[in-house]
């Protein structure tokens, strides 16, 4: 486990193979994603390192239902203080009322997935207190805009904090080998590419990915470059949320 401060209010938590982010203000603490099942103690350690306890958590935002993001949401929920937030389209899966559709793997992705997701346990079901949709603004970070990014999962979301020019992408984008890439293991790769372009247009300064190192400074330009390269795979129209 490690916790690294990226900006005055923004932290990156490394939880074994996976990661999460924390937004801390004087009057509220928001965790974004949880890593895999069993990451609860690591999250508690991280909070303690910056002088917080688990009951200081006010909110948990899940970028999507995948087990490497929602894996410890049930444990976080059991601590009793955090409101659990997720997109309406992924909420039934997170609650355990529906089975999440598997990604449409390419051949290469199938092989990669078998390797990187080996031993990944299913996320225990958890309540969702607040279902969000595209355009909703959450009350932290000067207003955290929910950006619907379907294509990775139907209910994938990113968070955009315009006041701080921070973008938390979930799995629509990732960093690998020093490069920003379209995230892998998508339900609908063309739709994911369209969602990626939406994020690129936000001109964020800082981009925090579900996987890989954040881009600190000038993130928007990097995302745009990748978005241009993805051109040609764009569906007829953006499906909204
Ligand atoms: Zn994912
Ligand atoms: Zn992931």
Model pLDDT, residue 238: 54
**What is the Å distance from ligand 1's center to 45 Cα?**
24
Compute CA distances 112 → 55, 56, 131, 172, whole Å. Answer: 37, 37, 32, 17
Residues 36, 117: Cα–Cα separation, whole Å: 10
**Left (φ > 0), alpha (ψ -120 to 50) or beta: where does 48 sit?**
alpha
Question: What pLDDT sits at residue 109?
Answer: 94
- Cβ-based neighbour number of residue 68 at 10 Å: 26
* Nearest ligand (C-alpha, residue 209): 2
Query: In this structure, are residues 219 and 207 in contact, taking their beta carbons and an 8 Å threshold?
Result: yes
Please give the distance, rounded to the nearest whole angstrom, from the Cα atom of residue 241 to the centre of ligand 1: 18
Confidence (pLDDT) at 237 = 54
Q: Tell how far the Cα of 51 is from the centroid of ligand 1, in angstroms.
A: 30
Strands (E), 78-172: 83-87, 130-132, 137-138, 144-148, 157-161, 166-170
Distance CA 190, CA 137 (A): 27
Residue 46 alpha carbon to ligand 1 centre in Å: 23
Question: What pLDDT is recorded for position 233?
Answer: 53
What is the per-residue pLDDT for 232? 59
- What pLDDT score was predicted for residue 231? 78
Tell me the two tokens of residue 214. 């954040």
- The CATH label, of 3.40.50.720, 3.40.50.880, 3.30.2350.10, 3.60.15.10, for the domain at 2-98+108-119+127-229 is 3.60.15.10
Quick one: which ligand is closest to 17's CA? 2
Ligand positioned closest to the Cα atom of 64: 1
Domain ranges of the chain: 2-98+108-119+127-229
Quickly count helices (H) and strands (E) in the chain: 7, 15
pLDDT tens track of the chain, all 241 residues? 999 999 999 999 999 999 999 999 999 999 999 999 999 999 999 999 999 999 999 999 999 999 999 999 999 999 999 999 999 999 999 999 999 999 999 999 999 999 989 999 999 999 999 999 999 999 999 999 999 999 999 999 999 999 999 999 999 999 999 999 999 999 999 999 999 999 999 999 999 999 999 999 999 999 999 999 987 555 555 555 5
Res 240: pLDDT: 52
134: tokens are 């595209």
Q: Find the 81 Cα to ligand 2 centroid distance in Å.
A: 25
């Amino acid at each position: 486990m490690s916790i690294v401060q990226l900006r005055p209010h923004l932290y990156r938590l490394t939880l074994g193979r996976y990661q999460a982010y924390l937004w801390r203000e004087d009057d509220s603490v928001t965790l974004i994603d949880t890593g895999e099942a069993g990451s609860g103690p690591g999250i508690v350690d991280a909070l303690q390192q910056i002088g917080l306890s688990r009951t200081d958590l006010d909110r948990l935002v899940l970028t999507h239902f995948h087990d490497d993001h929602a894996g410890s949401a049930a444990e976080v929920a059991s601590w009793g203080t955090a409101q659990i937030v997720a997109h309406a389209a992924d909420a039934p899966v997170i609650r355990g009322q529906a089975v999440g559709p598997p990604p449409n793997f390419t051949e290469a992705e199938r092989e990669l997935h078998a390797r990187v997701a080996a031993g990944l346990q299913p996320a225990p079901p958890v309540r969702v207190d607040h279902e969000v949709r595209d355009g909703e603004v959450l009350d932290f970070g000067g207003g955290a805009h929910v950006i619907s990014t379907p294509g990775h999962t139907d209910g994938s979301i990113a968070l955009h904090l315009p006041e701080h020019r921070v973008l938390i992408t979930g799995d629509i984008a990732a960093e690998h080998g020093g490069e920003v890439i379209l995230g892998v293991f998508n339900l609908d790769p063309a739709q994911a590419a369209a969602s990626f372009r939406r994020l690129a247009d936000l001109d964020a300064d800082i981009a925090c990915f579900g996987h890989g190192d954040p881009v600190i400074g000038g993130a928007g330009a990097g995302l745009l470059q990748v978005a241009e390269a993805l051109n040609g795979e764009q569906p007829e129209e953006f499906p909204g949320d």
